[in-house]
Chains A and B, each alone.
Chain A
Amino acid sequence: MTQFTGKDLLCVRGGRVVFTGLDFSVGPGGALVLIGPNGSGKSSLLRLMAGLLKPYAGIVAWDGEGIAEDPEAHGGRMHYVGHHDAVKPALSVHENVSFWAGLHGHVGTVDGALETLAISHLSDVPGRFLSAGQKRRVNLARVLAAPSPLWLLDEPTTALDKATITTLERQIAEHRAGGGIVVLSTHGEIPLEGAGVLELAHFQAGSGEIAA
Chain B
Amino acid sequence: MMGVFGAIVRRDLRLALRQGMDSVMVVMFFVIAVVLFSFGVGPEPNVLARIAAGVIWVSALLASMLSLERLFQIDYEDGSLELLALAPVPLEVAVVAKVTAHWLTTGLPLILAAPLLAVLLRMDGEGFGILIAVLLIGTPTLSLIGAVGAGLILGSRRGGVLLSLLILPLYIPVLIFGVGAVDAAIGGFPFKAHLLILGAFLAGSAALCPWAAAAAVRQAIE
Cβ of A80 and Cβ of B86 under 8 Å apart?
Answer: yes
The answer to whether B18 and A52 have CB atoms under 8 Å apart is no
For B77, what are the chain A residues with a Cβ–Cβ distance below 8 Å?
84
Collect the chain B residues with CB atoms within 8 Å of residue A105's CB. 3, 88
Interchain CB contact (< 8 A) of A90 among B19, B85, B86, B87: B19
Judge whether B90 and A72 touch: CB under 8 Å.
Answer: yes
A75 on interface, CB distance cutoff 8 Å = yes
Contact of A72 among B82, B83, B89 (CB under 8 A): B89
B82 touches A90 (CB 8 A): no
For the A-B complex, the count of residue pairs with Cβ-Cβ distances under 8 Å equals 70
Bound: A90/B15 CA distance, A? 6
- When A89-B19, A90-B15 are in contact, do A103 and B89 touch as well, CB less than 8 Å? yes
Within A68-109, which residues are at the interface with B (CB < 8 Å)? 71-73, 75-76, 78, 80, 82-91, 95, 99-100, 102-105
Q: Does B4 contact A (CB under 8 A)?
A: yes
Q: Which of B11, B19, B86, B90 has the most CB of A within 10 A?
A: B86
Chain A nearest CB: distance from B130 CB in Å?
38
Q: How far is the CB of B221 from chain A (nearest CB, A)?
A: 6
Which of chain A's residues have a CB closer than 8 A to the CB of B11? 88, 91, 95, 99
B75 to A, closest residue via Cβ: A86
A50 located at the interface, meaning its Cβ lies under 8 Å from any Cβ of chain B in the complex: yes
Residues 14-53 (chain A) with a chain B CB within 8 angstroms: 50-53
- Cβ contact of A88, chosen from B3, B80, B88, cutoff 8 A: B80
Question: From A76, which residue of chain B is reached at the shortest CB distance?
Answer: B88
**CB-CB < 8 A to A89: which residues of B?**
19
Residues of B within 8 A of A103 (CB): 4, 7, 84, 87-89
In the assembled complex, how far is the CB of residue A126 from the closest CB belonging to chain B, in whole angstroms?
Answer: 8
Give complex CA distance A72, B84 in Å. 11
List which B69-93 residues lie within 8 A (CB) of chain A.
Answer: 77-80, 82-90
- When distances are taken between beta carbons in the complex, the residues of chain B under 8 Å from A100 are 83
Q: How far is the CB of A132 from chain B (nearest CB, A)?
A: 13
Say which residue of B14, B82, B90 sits within 8 Å of A91 (CB atoms). Answer: B14
Query: Whose C-beta in chain B lies nearest to the C-beta of A152?
Result: B86
Residues on A with C-beta less than 8 A from B87 are 75, 103-104
How many B residues touch the partner, as a band? 20 to 34
CA distance A53 to B86 in the complex (A): 11
B 1-39 to A, binary, CB cutoff 8 A, 1 in contact else 0: 001100100010011001100000000000000000000
Known: A82-B79, A85-B78, A88-B80. A99 touches B7 (CB 8 A): yes
Q: Known contacts A72-B90, A80-B86: does B222 contact A53 (CB below 8 Å)?
A: yes
Q: How far is the CA of A200 from the CA of B196 in the complex (A)?
A: 59
Q: Which residues of A contact B82 (CB under 8 A)?
A: 52, 80, 82, 84, 86
Write out the residue numbers on chain B whose beta carbons fall within 8 Å of the beta carbon of A51: 86
Task: Note all chain A residues with C-beta closer than 8 A to B18.
Answer: 90-91
B7 touches A102 (CB 8 A): yes
Task: Tell me which residues across on chain B come within 8 A of A95, comparing CB atoms.
Answer: 11, 14
Question: With contacts A53-B222, A82-B79, A83-B79 known, is A88 near B15, CB below 8 A?
Answer: yes
Tell me if A176 counts as interface (CB < 8 A to partner B): no
* Minimum CB distance partner of A102 in chain B: B7
A104 and B77 alpha carbons, distance in the complex (Å): 22
- Cβ-neighbour of A50 out of B14, B79, B86 (below 8 A): B86
Name 11 interchain pairs, CB-CB below 8 A, sorted by A: A72-B88, A72-B90, A75-B89, A84-B77, A86-B80, A88-B78, A89-B19, A95-B11, A103-B4, A103-B7, A103-B89
Contacts from A to B (Cβ < 8 Å): 50-54, 71-73, 75-76, 78, 80, 82-91, 95, 99-100, 102-105
Instruction: Given A88-B11, A90-B19, A103-B87, output 18 extra A-B contacts at Cβ < 8 Å.
Output: A52-B85, A54-B222, A72-B89, A78-B86, A82-B82, A83-B79, A84-B77, A84-B78, A84-B80, A86-B79, A86-B80, A90-B18, A91-B11, A91-B14, A91-B15, A100-B83, A102-B7, A103-B88
